[in-house]
Amino acid sequence: MKLSGDTIRKLILENGLVRDEKTTVFSKEKGKAMPYLEYVLSNVGPNNLDVRVGHQFFELKRSSTGFIDLHSKPDYEQLTCDRDGAYFIQPGQFCLATTMEYIKLPRNICATIDSRSSIGRRGLVTQTATNIQAGFEGTLTLELKNEAPVPIKIFPGDIVSQIIFEYLDTETSTPYNGAYQGQDTTRTPD
């Protein structure tokens, strides 16, 4: 069963479902600094939580062999921001980024991260690995792709994705405990 905005707010307040080390956040949407908890709660929708993209972007480099070997470690390169602190994602470009929000899922809740329609309509989509397993804790790695015919300018702190939470039918006895548990930055695959 998908969680309503009211349940998401309650879990944030009572169980620390989402957190950030900062005590205040500058809200671009509201044009002012806000206490972090108030800011996060303002980003809860009817059945989702909007999340911001962080400060690191990594691009998958072209392979010198002309293909990507799924049995070898992929080669990523960190993108550099422009003078304004923005990143440009080129048409067709695939890159990794991280949410600023740090989530902590209990054993009875899983989630999905997806594109926001307003961002997707501009050509920026959240790709493939959208399932977040029960018990996961950390920032979320975003797999972003520009499907537009022109570059997309993106700033750290832009709201680009949303999380949809769901209750499991029972609490899992094997919560997530993989390589990305506890991550607080963009991690490229090993």
Q: What are phi and psi of 111, to 5 degrees?
A: -150, 170
Determine the Cα–Cα distance for residues 112 and 126; give it in Å rounded to an integer. Answer: 11
Determine the Cα–Cα distance for residues 126 and 143; give it in Å rounded to an integer. Answer: 6
Q: What is the pLDDT of residues 40-92, one digit of tens each?
A: 999 999 999 999 998 888 887 776 677 777 888 777 888 878 888 899 999 99
143 is catalytic: yes
Determine the Cα–Cα distance for residues 166 and 189; give it in Å rounded to an integer. Answer: 26
In single-letter form, the type of residue at position 127 comes to: Q
Identify which of 67, 87, 73, 185 has the alpha carbon closest to the alpha carbon of residue 144.
87
Q: Which member of 29, 38, 59, 143 is catalytic?
A: 143
Domain residue extents for the chain: 51-62+75-167
Beta-bridged to residue 52, according to DSSP, are 159
The pLDDT > 90 percentage for the chain reads 51
Cβ-in-10-Å burial (0-12, 13-18, 19+) of 187 comes to: middle
Fold annotation for 51-62+75-167: Deoxyuridine 5'-Triphosphate Nucleotidohydrolase; Chain A (2.70.40)
At which residue do the structure tokens 């926001």 appear? 116
Identify which of 52, 48, 37, 36 has the alpha carbon closest to the alpha carbon of residue 5.
48
Which pTM does this prediction carry?
Answer: 0.87
| pLDDT (mean) for 150-159 | 93
